[in-house]
Structure 1
Amino acid sequence: MRFVTYASPQGDDRVGVVDGDQVHGFEPGVTLLDVLDSGDLLGAGERAAAAPSETVELAGLALRAPLQPRSIRDCMGFLQHLRNCAGASDLEVDDRHFQFPVFYFSNPAAVVGPYDEVPIAPDSEQFDYELEVAVVIGKAGSTIALDRAEEHIAGYLMLCDWSARDLQMNEMALRLGPAKGKDTANTLGPMLVTPDELEPYRSNKGFDLEMTGYVNGELVSRGRWNTIDWAFADMITYTSRGTTLRVGDVIGSGTVDTGCLFEHFATDREHFRGWLQPGDEVRLVVENLGELRQRVVAGVKAERLSSGY
C-alpha cells in the first residue's frame, strides 16, 4: 500500500492512499502521523479506499512530504560512499564504521516535499544533494532486538539530505556536527510504501532496486539499494539502544554509492561538473519508491555574527 499527503482541490492538505492512477482521500484534518499513531496503517488505508472523502487523479497532484517526522536520524549505511568521499576530505575510513552504523540527528523542521524548491544554504558555494532511502517507524520501541527490528517499520520512502559541503567541512573540523552544513532542507517523499510492496525485491541487506540521480537531465548518480552494508534492522537496533524510537521517527540509509556531487569532486576533480547553482533541477529516482524533482534556488543572505563570521 502507498500513502501520500497532497493538496486537495478543496483547499486543504489531505492524506491519501494510492490506487493505480487515483488517490483516495482520508477525512480532512487527518495527518499521516495521526494514522501511524493509531497503530492500524493498513486498516486505515483499506477504509479510506473503500469510503474515501474524495477520489482524485494522481497525475498533476501537488504532493507534500508524506509526514512531518518527530525526529530524523541519518545513518552511514553505504560504506562505499564514505570510501569515495575520503580522498576529498583527507580522512581515513575508520574501522569503527564496520562495527556500527554511525548516525547524526538532522532537522525535522527543515523537511520539504518532493517537488518543492530548495534554497541554497546561506554562505555556501558547495551545495549538494544526497540520494538516500529511509524508513518510518510505525511501532515504538526501546532496545529493539535485531530479529524483531523490521516489525517496527511502517514503510519506506526516499530521502534527499541536502548538504552544504563547505560549511560541513569547516564546522566538522571542530569535532562537533554536522550542523549548518545539513540544516537547510531534507526532502521526504514522494510516498510512504509499506514493506510488503518491496518484499519481492529483497536482496542482501537491502532490496534489488536501482537508485539514480540527475542534474539538469544529466545522469550523475547510479547505484543499487542492495549494496548497502548496514541493513535497516541493524540501524533500528543500534539507534534504539538505551533509548526509545517513537512512531513517526525517520531513519535514513546514508548516501548510495555515487549518490552525491561530493563523491565526483573527490574522485575526478578534473572533470567535476560543479556544485549546484540557482536554477538547477535535481531529479532523484528509486525504483518502486518514486521520484523527487526539485529546483534549487538562491538562499537567504547570512547576517554576520559579532565575530564577523
Structure 2
Amino acid sequence: MRWATYRSPRDGRDRVGLLHEGSVHGLAEPASLVELLGGGVGAMRRAATTALTEPAEVITTDQVVLRAPVPSPPSIRDFMAFEEHVVTSMQAVGRTVDPGWYEIPVFYFSNPAAVFGPGDPVRIAPGSAAFDYELEVAVVVGGHGANIPVDRAGEYIAGYTILSDWSARDLQEHEMRQGLGPAKGKDTATTIGPYLVTPDELESARGPSGGLELAMTASVNGRRYSRGSLATIHWSFEQLISYASRGTRLVPGDVIGSGTVGTGCILELSRVHGADSYPWLAPGDRVRLEVERLGHLDCVIEPAEVVHPLS
C-alpha cells in the first residue's frame, strides 16, 4: 500500500488517500494518517478497501497536491546511520570516526512544526550562506512501544518514505562549538514524502544481507550530485527503533530518519571535491531527491527571511 496525505480540492483540508493506478483515492475518515496508523495493520487494510470501493474523491497524481505523509509528526529523530558518509566526512577534515559511533546509533531531534511536503518550496535558513540538502530514507512508526527489542522492532515499521534534512552548515558549526545542537542549523525545514510505502511493497528489494537494495540519488538543477543505496546502511531501522525506544515510548506517527547516505549532501561532496565543484544551495536552485520505489522530492530553494538582531 502507498498512503498519502493530500490537500482536498473540495474544501482545502488535508485528507488521507491511497495511491492506486495513477490516482489518489481519498478517505472521508480518518482525518489524519496518524489516526489510521494508531489502528494497526487491520485498520489500514480496512481503510484501503474503503478507499478503493467507496472513495470520498479520486484525484489523478498529476493534479493532486501532496503534503508530507505525516504533516505534523509527534516527533522526528534523525540518525547518522550510514558509515560511508561518516567516514568520508571525517577523513576530509583530517579526523577519524570516534569509536563510540560503532557502539550506539546517534541522533538528534528535529522540528515537527517545520515539516514540508514533497513539492513545497524550501526557504534558506535566516543568516545562512551554507545551505545544504541531505538525502535520506525514513520510517514512520505504526504502534505504541517502549524498550523494544531489535527482533521485534520491524513490527513497528508502518512504512518508508523519503526525507531531506535541510541543513544550514555555517549555523550548525557555530552553535555546536557550544556543546549543544544541532539546533538552529536544522530548525528551518524537513521535507518528507511523497508517499508512505508499506513494508510489504519493498520485500522483493531485500538483498542477501537483509538490507533494502534501493538506489538513492540527488540532483541540483538537473546535475547529478549524489548516488548511493539504502542497502549500505550500517545501523538497520530495526536497531534505530530499538535504540529510540530505550527508556522511553514511541507512538504512531513518530518519524525515524536514517541520516545521510554516502555522497548524499553538499557538505561531504565539497569537502572531498572542493567547494567550486559543489557550491552551497542558492535561491532558485531546484533540488530533486529520488529513492527507488519510494518516489521523489522536488523542491525549489527560496531566499531566507530577514535576521532580526538579538541586541
TM-score normalised to the size of structure 1? 0.96
Q: Deviations over 1:240-267 (max 9, x none)?
A: 0111011110000000000000011111
Residues 205, 230 of structure 1: 8 Å contact kept: no
CA shift at 1:73, angstroms?
Answer: 0.2
CA shift at 1:205, angstroms?
Answer: 4.8
Residues 215, 283 of structure 1: 8 Å contact kept: yes
Matching residue within 32, 46, 51 for 2:49: 46
The residue number in structure 1 matching 2:36 is 35
Choose 114-123 or 2-11, whichever is displaced more: 2-11
Give, in whole Å, the separation in 1 of the partners of 2:30 and 2:250: 25
Give, in whole Å, the separation in 1 of the partners of 2:92 and 2:48: 46
The residue number in structure 1 matching 2:21 is 20
Matching residue within 97, 112, 115 for 2:101: 97
TM-score normalised to the size of structure 2? 0.95
Q: Which runs of 4+ in 1 moved over 6 A?
A: none
Change (3 A) 1:77 1:112: same
Change (3 A) 1:270 1:30: closer
Give, in whole Å, the separation in 1 of the partners of 2:270 and 2:11: 44
Change (3 A) 1:10 1:80: same
CA shift at 1:11, angstroms?
Answer: 2.7
Q: Deviations over 1:9-59 (max 9, x none)?
A: 213221110001111110067111121122222321222222111112112
Residues 30, 36 of structure 2: 8 Å contact kept: no
Residues 163, 190 of structure 2: 8 Å contact kept: yes
Q: Secondary structure at the match of 2:9?
A: coil
RMSD across aligned positions (CA): 1.3
Q: Deviations over 1:116-174 (max 9, x none)?
A: 01000011000000000000000110000111000011101000000000011111111
Identity between Structure 1 and Structure 2 (%): 51
Choose 25-34 or 271-280, whichever is displaced more: 25-34
The residue number in structure 1 matching 2:234 is 229
CA shift at 1:103, angstroms?
Answer: 0.6
CA shift at 1:88, angstroms?
Answer: 5.0
CA shift at 1:91, angstroms?
Answer: 4.3
Change (3 A) 1:270 1:157: closer
CA shift at 1:90, angstroms?
Answer: 5.5
Q: Secondary structure at the match of 2:293?
A: coil
Change (3 A) 1:32 1:241: same
Amino acid at match of 1:2: R
The residue number in structure 1 matching 2:7 is 7
Q: How many residues in Structure 1 have an aligned counterpart in Structure 2? A: 306
Q: Which runs of 5+ in 2 are unaligned?
A: none
The residue number in structure 2 matching 1:289 is 294
Matching residue within 190, 194, 212 for 2:194: 190
Matching residue within 164, 174, 185 for 2:168: 164
Give, in whole Å, the separation in 2 of the partners of 1:126 and 1:270: 11
The residue number in structure 1 matching 2:58 is 55
Give, in whole Å, the separation in 1 of the partners of 2:171 and 2:22: 42
Q: Secondary structure at the match of 1:206?
A: coil
